[in-house]
Structure 1
Amino acid sequence: MSESTPLIQHHHHHPHANTKRLLTSLHTSMISLGGIIGTGLFIGIRVTLLNGPIISLLSYIYISMMCYYIIQAVGEMSIYMPINGSLCQFQFIYISDPIGIMNNVIYWISWSVTLALELSLIYNILQYWDFGDWFYENEVLVIFCVWLVLTLINLYPVNNYGNIESVITVFKIVFLIGWINVGLMLMVFGDGGKEVGFKNWNKDLIWGIDHIKVIENPIASKMVNILSSLVTACFTFQSIESVAICSGEIKDVHKNLPKAIRYVVMRIIFCYIFSLFLLTLMIPCNDPRLIGDDDNGILSSPFLIGLINLGVNSSSYLLNFFNFIILISMISAANSNIYFGSRCLISMVEEDYFPEFFGKTTSSGVPVNAVLLTSSIGLISLLSKFKTVDVFFQLLINLCSTSGLLMWLFISISYLQFRKALVYNSIDHQKLYYVASFPMQFFSYFTIVSIIVIIFGNGIVNFWDFNLENFISCYATSMVLVVGSVTLSYLWGKPLIKPISDIDIFTNQSEHAFK
């Protein structure tokens, strides 16, 4: 510890979940590397491609810069204070309890509801293979069996979760490398694809198709579509911050978390930007399968549409294998939803805003009650056949639509508060064990402004063509958070942003917080 660091200790009266630090360096790196190669990349990238090569790539590069800053900010704070669900607790520590509880409840519900979505998608992808009539007649049973297996996995010690994610990440990386190589070879040497290569960058396609057509002025219309592209890019990148949620369960967190953070640049450039660049060569932005609503089976992923465009037979072994990888990626994403959601729940228990019952752990450090509550919400997907439940399910999905963006926003605000608290307590930022290598405070403001613009831009189409359902979908989360936080602030008599003098940066400080 630095000599200039005041040795003040604050007594922490909050309950602590007795989780165990069982995630190794390999686990952490693999969770970091594979954690965002999932549904967002394989399926969600489809909407981005409609905007054409230039706007798609610029959107991804812009959001990549934001995400790189966010993971660095989370890294600095998590290595300084490696607590359960770190980024979930930081809002309580650095901003305020009203904002902390509102944002964490929304974030936790979003993990649980996304689990329900993933379970439905898993069933859709499974339909690619013909399992016979029994499979189609027993959708509820199939989804329940997948849910049961995933829940049981999360009831074992956390190193088992790490092992499973590590194996699946190897498959995902092999898939991406294989897909890139096959795609490049077919583009250079194949003759099956008529609409591949830089033909898709011609003057008619390079700026994409305006899939949002509400404004007569073509320049204004293009601006709306650029904003839309930024929004869809954000949803693809969501959960990039999630590796830090593990910080309360990582061995030697001060060594292993920085390693995981270093992988972020590689995975952003390789997995996202390079893959997107190749997809713009393989698929014209006016491809009917991108525009259509076929969410089932093989045609739902641009990664497979691209190979079909290059002449690969849609029933070939190669596509069977790649579809299998997309399936296990979705299973991995659903598995992670339970893990991250339960750790977010623990962070609320540790801040005294959720019953202590949900923080109880087994002798091997598994928060069983938190896991069961989080995963049980995913069972909504079984009931979505009933009209009233489906309406409720859609409402929850809408509520979660911007939860990841709000988490990024509050990570940025937490980081600014963290830096101010260091100055207030006469702690030299450069003496922290882990320090990002670029101007973090400038990027905090850049990210805060960007996210606010993107959240407003999410539903900008409603200013020309109002649709109540779309308006609620775009703005419900933000409105619930603002109204809830202001109400709680008034009822509890607590400020929305706590004074710097009230921020406790000593309790839970790591013994490795400083160089």
Structure 2
Amino acid sequence: MSNKVLSNKELDYVRSREAADGSSTEKSGGVLVNDFEEKKEPELTGFAKIKDSFRRYDSEELNLDPNLTDIEKTAIMTANSPLSRKLKNRHLQMIALGGSIGTGLFVGSGSTLRTGGPAGVLIGYGIISTMILCMVNAAGELSVTFPVSGAFVTYNTRFLDPSLSFSLAWNYALQWLVVLPLELVAASMTIQYWDTTTNPAAYVVIFYVLIVAINFFGVKGYGEAEFLFSLIKVLAVTGFIILGIVLVCGGGPNDEGYIGGRYWHNPGAIHNGFKGVCSVFVTAAFAFAGTELAALGAAETADVRKSLPKATKQVFWRIALFYIISLTLVGLLVPYNDERLLGSSSVDANASPFVISIKNAQIKGLPSVMNAVIMIAVLSVGNSSVFASSRTLAAIASAGMAPKIFAYIDKAGRPLFGIIFQCIFGLLCFVCASSKEGDVFTWLLALSGLSSLFTWGGIMLCHIRFRRALYVQGRDTSELVFKSQFGVYGSYYGVTIIGLILIAQFWIALFPSNKPSALNFFENYLGAIVVLAFYIPHKLWRRGSLYIKAKDIDLDTGRRELDLDLLKQEIAEEKEILASKPLYKRIYHFWC
């Protein structure tokens, strides 16, 4: 309400009219001043402010038309989520750059080197890398256009099918629920590099409390922690690349001389043939798990239009520099028949080929530094698991696919009960004190083994359906702020690669040797069975068609810019400005 200059007579009249509802009007230099404009609630401080932040976010109830379909209601609910928008550009940049650098790279690469050989590792990670590039571009396009709660977790409902969305959403939630206890135990096992006498459970308590505390600070706490963790990981991998080049060229202190491609000739470049190369795919997929987290944070990003495209483009550099180059050096420095690789597992940092290569060079002190980095990487993934699972649970609860209590968002923008549930589930980490630790974690890992592949496949299928809906409804990509650099054909390619990987993994899981093994099959293919276990009952209950027709897909709910004509004009102006810049700046903009 704007203030209006009034005469004394007019002020007297207004006072008499407002007397009935108890509001007062005072004159200050002939200016009308109302109680509801001037009075403010006392600002809370200290413990009272902290306590108040846990109360439910007081937002206006959405008066949804009862005639709306479930899909339309889901789109509206997720678009109006009260999650806090506190992630800044630097947070998304570093989360994208170092978010998925974890045990999959530092430790899991040891098992792939042992089973596939150095060339097998590069082939497997290279193929997965091309698929990841297509996936993050698809996720970036969708998330910039629709920065809604849950992002790709809820896109499946809008673009594919509610039953498929239900199964993939719970698949993604379970993936991250399982990761927290796994990573906490991995961190405690890493500590044993220095301390073999203390019970690992003691360290689990420390790490558990740290991760819980970080996430109760809200999305800003997660963002700042990941910024620091990712910065350390990026610096560590960069340092290892420089050291690796020096060692390969014979600059190590052990006087071993020029190494070059010695281990590619003896014992060899590929181990176990085609099956060995295929065995790399799932471990490589596990290594890249978390690449999609930048898109998941779209609803909590202050300026998603500028921040998310930059974060998406950074994935190319992360893959090229931190995965392909570092794994090439690892394959040159460590032979695949090194006995220390035989103990490779997700919780044995001593089997890390990064650590082994430094030990082989007889560089004192650096193995301890590398183990410390591995521990930080493990904590980073554990921290990300709380963020990912709680936001997923909040999104699917808003969509009516999980208990409503998980949709509780407090005044600080935290999905409170989602965080609490993840922290309770994380208590499974204390089985590290049990003699059955190995069995429990084998099956927990089996639950999440293939889940990333289904998540990524869902993202690219949504992108394909989104582009199809634009075409059928007579619209085009001129209204998109950010477009996938590989277009819809990149998503077709990515889905094809995932399909082939699932077929190859089915073969390896069922026939690890010449004879079939039921135990090995369920340990390695349980993730696919979980997806079907969610999908089939939900589809039988809901019935309906197998997919949503392109002409019925909602292309507007959830957008932050609803004036499409104005948006197209702004995009055109931005393109003109970019076109006027020098060639090197245009190239930089395309890749960065």
TM-score (norm 1): 0.89
The answer to whether structure 1 residue 375 and structure 2 residue 423 are counterparts is yes
* Alpha-carbon distance in structure 1 between the residues aligned to 2:319 and 2:327: 11
Cα separation, partners in 2 of 1:390 and 1:300, compared to 1, 3 Å? closer
The answer to whether structure 1 residue 199 and structure 2 residue 199 are counterparts is no
Residue matched to 2:520:
470
* Alpha-carbon distance in structure 2 between the residues aligned to 1:298 and 1:203: 25
1:448, distance to aligned residue in structure 2 (A)? 1.6
The answer to whether structure 1 residue 117 and structure 2 residue 182 are counterparts is yes
Cα separation, partners in 2 of 1:413 and 1:472, compared to 1, 3 Å? same
The answer to whether structure 1 residue 305 and structure 2 residue 370 are counterparts is no
Which of 183, 196, 200 lines up with 2:244 in the alignment? 183
Given that residues 102 and 481 in structure 1 are in contact (C-alpha distance below 8 angstroms), is that contact kept between their aligned partners in structure 2?
yes
Trace 1:496-507 onto structure 2 (pairs within 5 A).
Answer: 496-507=546-557
How many residues of Structure 1 are paired with residues of Structure 2 in the alignment?
486
Trace 1:212-361 onto structure 2 (pairs within 5 A).
Answer: 222-293=273-344, 299-312=350-363, 316-361=364-409
Residue matched to 2:497:
450
1:122, distance to aligned residue in structure 2 (A)? 0.3
1:298, distance to aligned residue in structure 2 (A)? 5.0
Unpaired runs of at least 5, structure 2: 1-71, 572-592
DSSP-derived class of the 2:107 partner: helix
Given that residues 144 and 379 in structure 1 are in contact (C-alpha distance below 8 angstroms), is that contact kept between their aligned partners in structure 2?
no
Letter in structure 2 aligned against 1:396: L
1:389, distance to aligned residue in structure 2 (A)? 8.4
Deviations for 1:285-343, whole angstroms, at most 9, x for unmatched residues? 1111112357766522111111112222xxx3222222111111111111111111111
Residue matched to 2:412:
364
Moved more, 495-504 or 388-397: 388-397
The answer to whether structure 1 residue 74 and structure 2 residue 139 are counterparts is yes
Moved more, 487-496 or 324-333: 487-496
Moved more, 140-149 or 22-31: 140-149
Given that residues 69 and 443 in structure 1 are in contact (C-alpha distance below 8 angstroms), is that contact kept between their aligned partners in structure 2?
yes
* Alpha-carbon distance in structure 2 between the residues aligned to 1:428 and 1:294: 48
1:387, distance to aligned residue in structure 2 (A)? 7.0
Trace 1:154-173 onto structure 2 (pairs within 5 A).
Answer: 154-173=215-234
1:67, distance to aligned residue in structure 2 (A)? 0.3
* Alpha-carbon distance in structure 2 between the residues aligned to 1:103 and 1:38: 24
* Alpha-carbon distance in structure 2 between the residues aligned to 1:76 and 1:406: 19
Which of 97, 102, 112 lines up with 1:48 in the alignment? 112
* Alpha-carbon distance in structure 1 between the residues aligned to 2:437 and 2:358: 38
DSSP-derived class of the 1:36 partner: coil
Letter in structure 2 aligned against 1:93: R
Cα separation, partners in 2 of 1:171 and 1:396, compared to 1, 3 Å? closer
* Alpha-carbon distance in structure 2 between the residues aligned to 1:124 and 1:392: 16
Given that residues 459 and 470 in structure 1 are in contact (C-alpha distance below 8 angstroms), is that contact kept between their aligned partners in structure 2?
no
1:390, distance to aligned residue in structure 2 (A)? 6.8
1:381, distance to aligned residue in structure 2 (A)? 1.9
Deviations for 1:417-465, whole angstroms, at most 9, x for unmatched residues? 1111111222112431101233x32222222222122112114132432
Larger Rg: 2
Cα separation, partners in 2 of 1:92 and 1:389, compared to 1, 3 Å? farther
Deviations for 1:482-511, whole angstroms, at most 9, x for unmatched residues? 343133112112323222233212111231
Given that residues 154 and 335 in structure 1 are in contact (C-alpha distance below 8 angstroms), is that contact kept between their aligned partners in structure 2?
yes
Given that residues 128 and 297 in structure 1 are in contact (C-alpha distance below 8 angstroms), is that contact kept between their aligned partners in structure 2?
no
Letter in structure 2 aligned against 1:42: F
Cα separation, partners in 2 of 1:432 and 1:284, compared to 1, 3 Å? same
Residue matched to 1:218:
none
Given that residues 122 and 330 in structure 1 are in contact (C-alpha distance below 8 angstroms), is that contact kept between their aligned partners in structure 2?
yes
1:69, distance to aligned residue in structure 2 (A)? 0.2
Which of 90, 105, 109 lines up with 1:26 in the alignment? 90
Which of 140, 148, 153 lines up with 1:83 in the alignment? 148
The answer to whether structure 1 residue 14 and structure 2 residue 61 are counterparts is no
The one of the two structures with greater contact order (alpha-carbon pairs below 8 A, sep at least 6) is: 1
User: RMSD between aligned alpha carbons?
Assistant: 2.2
Letter in structure 1 aligned against 2:481: Y
Residue matched to 1:482:
532
Percent of residue pairs bearing the same amino acid type = 28
* Alpha-carbon distance in structure 2 between the residues aligned to 1:116 and 1:234: 20
Letter in structure 1 aligned against 2:365: Y
Deviations for 1:147-174, whole angstroms, at most 9, x for unmatched residues? 1221121011311211111112221122
Deviations for 1:25-51, whole angstroms, at most 9, x for unmatched residues? 001101111101111111111122232
Given that residues 344 and 352 in structure 2 are in contact (C-alpha distance below 8 angstroms), is that contact kept between their aligned partners in structure 1?
no
TM-score (norm 2): 0.78
Deviations for 1:54-104, whole angstroms, at most 9, x for unmatched residues? 222122221111000000000000000001220111111111111111111
* Alpha-carbon distance in structure 2 between the residues aligned to 1:164 and 1:99: 33
Letter in structure 2 aligned against 1:27: H
1:184, distance to aligned residue in structure 2 (A)? 2.3
1:234, distance to aligned residue in structure 2 (A)? 1.8
* Alpha-carbon distance in structure 2 between the residues aligned to 1:13 and 1:256: 24
Unpaired runs of at least 5, structure 1: 1-9, 211-221
* Alpha-carbon distance in structure 1 between the residues aligned to 2:230 and 2:76: 39
DSSP-derived class of the 1:378 partner: helix
DSSP-derived class of the 1:277 partner: helix
* Alpha-carbon distance in structure 1 between the residues aligned to 2:235 and 2:441: 35
DSSP-derived class of the 1:379 partner: helix
